[in-house]
A and B are shown apart, each in its own frame.
Chain A
Amino acid sequence: GAVVSQHPSWVICKSGTSVKIECRSLDFQATTMFWYRQFPKQSLMLMATSNEGSKATYEQGVEKDKFLINHASLTLSTLTVTSAHPEDSSFYICSATLPRADASNQPQHFGDGTRLSIL
């Protein structure tokens, strides 16, 4: 159980375009999802916390207007990289937790990540 699906797994696009990445919890409802960014040979950096039905909470230094997060349902959160540029190229990973009542003693469950390359 607790499977998180991320789509697409790989995307290449031209500079200036917007790219949407989806994160779905397949067999559970996730009131909270997280978006991370990972640079080559580096650890995961938390970008934002996405809460169903409310605005996302962004970490310091992450541009809200650049990285739009929408969590419209209990099983889907989306990250849109707007007007993407080569410096936005990275590996983006989402994770989800069980609803708060069940969250204690539960790990975050991660998607397989999306490799974004901006030309």
Chain B
Amino acid sequence: SQELEQSPQSLIVQEGKNLTINCTSSKTLYGLYWYKQKYGEGLIFLMMLQKGGEEKSHEKITAKLDEKKQQSSLHITASQPSHAGIYLCGADRAGTASKLTFGTGTRLQVTL
């Protein structure tokens, strides 16, 4: 079974709308990383969460990690076309970011 599940698998939102992407682990995590990938390109680091209940924001993107450190959400406020891409969560199970297991990914499209 997949250790790291993301939902939804794909999402189409109208520009200006808010959206949330979820990442759920079957095991407690040391850390949770959010990346964005454009098709056929590398991954861009967004945010890293390590403490239960932690929340971080950058521009219009907010990421949270629950108290049990098994679930994270990524929220985008007032989406823009530049937010389109594939969002991937990566789980650190060893505490040193030495080996990441990635989620299934969420493909986001933002329409005008």
B102's contact among A44, A107, A113, by CB below 8 Å, is which?
A44
Using Cβ atoms and an 8 Å threshold, which residues of chain B touch A78? none
For this complex, into which size category does the number of interface residues on chain B fall?
A: 20 to 34
Assess whether A6 is interfacial by the CB under 8 Å rule: yes
Using Cβ atoms and an 8 Å threshold, which residues of chain A touch B96? 100, 103-104
A-B contact count (CB 8 A): 59
Contact mask for chain B residues 71-112; partner A; CB cutoff 8 A; 1 contact, 0 none: 000000000000000001010000111111111110100000
CB pair A103–B97 under 8 Å, yes or no, is yes
Assess whether A60 is interfacial by the CB under 8 Å rule: no
Instruction: Write the residues of chain B forming the contact surface with A, with a CB cutoff of 8 angstroms.
Output: 33, 35, 40-45, 48, 50, 88, 90, 95-105, 107
Instruction: Write the residues of chain A forming the contact surface with B, with a CB cutoff of 8 angstroms.
Output: 4, 6, 32, 34, 41-44, 46, 49, 91, 93, 95, 97, 100, 103-113, 115
